[in-house]
């Protein structure tokens, strides 16, 4: 944190993402409330932005967002202790539909995640995507206090933004992070505007991915579709004068998480959560927490819980699985389908195995605030993260961070980037329901000593490779680039 502050002492930092870190809503009584959205990106970026100050530009999406901004569409956040400015960009309904729902979430999202959902690409959505990227470029230029800010561009909503900023602020240091996987070049070539997207991203000074595998996929894609110079040893790519450094920076969380401050003891959390959900004190608890997204593998996971009771009936009445699912991108068909499929799976399993007031599955479909999620993690005996495909997955790291008692077992998909780091989790194939059921059984039977050994290793890793290290290594690299450029200029 101190290092970030020192390196950036004289630089202006501008963060750009689609999702805003604070959403102002008006409730039924007319009161304004503030919500923290469910987004791995926001979880990671927020502590960093608090540490560097500056401006965060994002789409204003809450019903009361307009009521709290000043004449420049800015509001100081966090509400309880303001340390930076949130600048909101207003999108029309048509823009939100074309750029966010359709091009980003019906095109790029399934293109980059292996979940066997067909990406949809339509010319009119592409036009909106381009137009909205240009609108955010205007906002960055308007916020830039000088010719060379450090701009942190986030995610697949803004593939064209780095180039657009580069054209207007050639001296800017543009650090782009792609929070989702990058597919192999054959898959990527489905996108009719693949060259434009690659060129847009190559406007960055640094382009980051979670894993080396995604970096290699990206470099191969450039190699295949662009006239370029690639230096595989330095991991740089250039199509013109300036090279882009393409490197892996595994994202992480704040250590310890803010939401843990003031948390009650694990014993109290165990009791409170069980009482609230009507689960007996001696019943073991498993949790899953995610947005209701088809990449998260929720229906398969629920079916695995069903198989557990079938194969290991000794757990009937002795284990409950709580799945928190936050509604997300509801307008899209693929998302509506996943909700009904999960509800159906939960109902089937509940009607088959429930008895004497005990239910095997609790499906809680609503947004949970970070402190509530932490409480659930602390109350649980195990946490299941079985994404079909996931850039990193921060829920896995949050569960580990929540367990300062060194207890609890993490069951983790090998297709989540986090599985490259959290090697002491029970790693599973999310397409293998029988295998997942056996892993849950193994987790439920794991000795305290083994839990402690595994949890301790994972906690050390998340503590050391926390989000400050993630941002710090990118920002230090950016600072180095700026110094090199200053030296070159003087020569």
| Binding footprint of ligand G6P on the chain (CB under 6 A) | 19, 39-41, 155, 179-180, 291, 328-329
CB of 41 to ligand G6P, least distance (A): 4
90/358 with CB nearer ligand G6P: 90
- Asked if 401 and 256 count as a contact pair (C-beta separation under 8 A), the reply is yes
- Asked if 362 and 320 count as a contact pair (C-beta separation under 8 A), the reply is yes
Instruction: Identify the burial level of 297 via C-beta atoms within 10 angstroms of its C-beta, where 0-12 means exposed, 13-18 middle and 19 or more buried.
Output: buried
297/360 with CB nearer ligand G6P: 297
Strands annotated E in 4-139: 13-16, 23-26, 32-35, 55-59, 74-77, 84-89
CB of 38 to ligand G6P, least distance (A): 6
* Residue 147 backbone dihedrals phi, psi, to 5 degrees: -75, -15
Find the radius of gyration of the CA atoms of the chain.
Answer: 23
Locus of tokens 């949790």: 287
CB of 331 to ligand G6P, least distance (A): 11
- Which letter does DSSP use for residue 420 in this model? G
308/394 with CB nearer ligand G6P: 394
CB of 101 to ligand G6P, least distance (A): 9
Alpha helix ranges (H) inside 102-254? 109-112, 123-143, 161-168, 185-188, 194-201, 212-225
CB of 239 to ligand G6P, least distance (A): 26
* Residue 38 backbone dihedrals phi, psi, to 5 degrees: -80, 105
Locus of tokens 């930076």: 84
Instruction: Measure the CA–CA gap between 145 and 151, rounded to whole angstroms.
Output: 12
**Reduced to 3 states, what is the DSSP secondary structure of residue 17?**
coil
105/465 with CB nearer ligand G6P: 105
19/74 with CB nearer ligand G6P: 19
* Residue 30 backbone dihedrals phi, psi, to 5 degrees: 90, -5
Locus of tokens 């894609």: 221
CB of 155 to ligand G6P, least distance (A): 4
CB of 292 to ligand G6P, least distance (A): 10
101/121 with CB nearer ligand G6P: 101
36/303 with CB nearer ligand G6P: 36
Give bridge partners of residue 84 from the DSSP assignment.
Answer: 77
- Asked if 338 and 294 count as a contact pair (C-beta separation under 8 A), the reply is yes
231/369 with CB nearer ligand G6P: 369
CB of 18 to ligand G6P, least distance (A): 6
40/62 with CB nearer ligand G6P: 40
Angle between helices 266-277 and 370-379 (to 10 degrees): 100
CB of 328 to ligand G6P, least distance (A): 5
């Amino acid at each position: 944190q101190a290092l970030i502050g020192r390196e950036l002492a004289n630089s202006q930092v501008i963060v750009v993402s689609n999702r805003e870190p604070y959403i102002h809503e008006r409730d039924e009584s007319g009161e304004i409330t503030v919500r923290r959205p469910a987004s791995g990106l926001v979880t990671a970026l927020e502590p960093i932005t608090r540490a560097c100050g500056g401006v965060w530009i994002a789409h204003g999406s809450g019903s009361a967002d307009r009521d709290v901004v000043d004449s420049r569409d800015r509001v100081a956040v966090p509400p309880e202790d303001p340390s930076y400015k949130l600048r909101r960009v207003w999108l029309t309904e048509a823009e939100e539909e074309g750029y966010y729902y359709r091009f980003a979430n019906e095109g790029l999202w399934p293109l980059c995640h292996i979940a066997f959902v067909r990406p949809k690409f339509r010319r009119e959505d592409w036009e909106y995507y381009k137009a909205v990227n240009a609108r955010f470029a205007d906002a960055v230029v308007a916020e830039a206090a000088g010719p060379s800010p450090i701009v942190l561009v986030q995610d697949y909503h803004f593939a064209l933004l780095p180039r657009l900023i580069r054209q207007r602020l050639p001296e800017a240091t543009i650090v782009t992070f792609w929070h989702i996987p990058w597919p192999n070049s054959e898959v990527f070539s489905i996108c009719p505007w693949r060259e434009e997207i690659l060129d847009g991203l190559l406007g960055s000074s640094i382009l980051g991915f979670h894993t080396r595998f995604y970096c290699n996929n990206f470099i191969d894609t450039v190699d295949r579709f662009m006239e370029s110079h690639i230096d595989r040893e330095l991991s740089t790519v250039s199509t013109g004068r300036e090279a882009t450094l393409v490197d892996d920076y595994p994202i992480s969380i704040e250590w310890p998480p803010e939401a843990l401050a003031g948390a009650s003891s694990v014993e109290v959390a165990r009791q409170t959560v069980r009482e609230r959900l009507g689960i007996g004190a001696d019943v073991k608890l498993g949790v899953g927490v995610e947005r209701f997204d088809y990449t998260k593998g929720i229906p398969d996971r629920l079916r695995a819980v069903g198989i557990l009771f079938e194969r290991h009936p000794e757990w009937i009445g002795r284990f409950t699985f709580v799945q928190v699912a936050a509604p997300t991108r509801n307008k899209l068909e693929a998302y509506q389908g996943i909700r009904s499929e999960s509800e159906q799976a939960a109902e089937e399993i509940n009607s088959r195995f429930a008895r004497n007031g005990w239910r095997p599955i609790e499906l809680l479909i609503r947004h949970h605030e970070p402190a509530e999620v932490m409480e659930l993690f602390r109350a649980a005996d195990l946490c299941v993260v079985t994404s079909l495909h996931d850039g990193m997955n921060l829920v896995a790291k949050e569960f580990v961070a929540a367990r300062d008692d060194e207890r609890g077992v993490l069951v983790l998909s090998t297709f989540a980037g986090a599985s490259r780091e959290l090697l002491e989790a029970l790693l599973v194939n999310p397409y293998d329901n029988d295998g997942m059921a056996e892993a849950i059984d193994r987790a439920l039977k794991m000795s305290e000593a083994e839990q402690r050994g595994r949890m301790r290793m994972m906690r050390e890793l998340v503590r050391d490779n926390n989000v400050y290290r993630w941002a710090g290594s990118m920002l230090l690299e950016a600072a180095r680039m700026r110094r090199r450029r200053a030296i070159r200029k003087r020569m």
